[in-house]
């Protein structure tokens, strides 16, 4: 009996380890953000529509917002643009854009051509704010609550699925003040 107990135990252990590995396999592409549950990084950046004005993270306090990192050089940002426009139409929460290492003129013409889903667009020429947010590839979207805490991060394009299954359930049921 004892002769089989040890190999059997080793086998069961191996199965458990592999099962955990398989369970976590779909998450391997996405790196969990350490920002979840923490204060959204502060920033003060020029406004894309009027570079003399400043978009400040402190102005965004007191309401929910979706912080969307994009750029005209980003292929998948085009794919999520329709969904962003839908989010704007739904008027559930404002979308704040971070135009990451982009050409301002190109960014403006992109918004003119495809439609502008953003309430404000902050321009991050140096990419420092993107680094503060732990951005490693556009598009990325962060859901921030009225207390300024990052509640959720979506890596990759915003899909209808992500919107209905990940973002909407995290928002309070009733209509949101200030949106």
Applying CB under 8 A, which residues contact another protein? 31-35, 101, 126-128, 130-134, 136-137
CB 38 → another protein: shortest distance, Å?
8
Nearer of residues 93 and 122 to another protein, judged by Cβ: 122
- Assigned token pair, 54: 């400043």
CB 144 → another protein: shortest distance, Å?
16
Task: Quote the CA–CA distance of 61 and 25 in Å, as a whole number.
Answer: 36
Nearer of residues 70 and 133 to another protein, judged by Cβ: 133
Task: Quote the CA–CA distance of 80 and 159 in Å, as a whole number.
Answer: 7
Nearer of residues 117 and 139 to another protein, judged by Cβ: 139
Task: Quote the CA–CA distance of 156 and 139 in Å, as a whole number.
Answer: 5
CB 171 → another protein: shortest distance, Å?
25
Nearer of residues 48 and 138 to another protein, judged by Cβ: 138
CB 4 → another protein: shortest distance, Å?
16
CB 17 → another protein: shortest distance, Å?
9
Nearer of residues 19 and 90 to another protein, judged by Cβ: 19
């Amino acid at each position: 009996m004892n002769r089989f107990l040890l190999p059997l135990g080793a086998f069961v252990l191996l199965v458990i380890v592999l099962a955990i590995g398989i369970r976590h396999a779909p998450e391997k592409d996405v790196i969990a953000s350490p920002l979840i549950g923490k204060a959204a990084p502060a920033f003060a950046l020029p406004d894309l529509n009027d570079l003399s004005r400043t978009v400040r993270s402190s102005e965004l306090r007191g309401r929910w917002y979706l912080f969307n990192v994009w750029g005209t050089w980003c292929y998948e940002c085009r794919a999520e643009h329709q969904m962003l426009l839908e989010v704007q139409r739904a008027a559930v929460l404002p979308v704040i854009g971070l135009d990451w290492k982009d050409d301002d003129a190109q960014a403006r013409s992109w918004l003119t051509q495809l439609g502008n889903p953003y309430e404000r667009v902050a321009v991050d020429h140096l990419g420092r704010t993107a680094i503060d947010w732990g951005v490693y590839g556009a598009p990325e979207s962060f859901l921030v609550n009225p207390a300024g805490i990052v509640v959720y991060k979506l890596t990759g394009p915003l899909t209808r699925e992500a919107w209905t299954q990940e973002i909407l359930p995290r928002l309070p049921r009733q209509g949101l003040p200030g949106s």
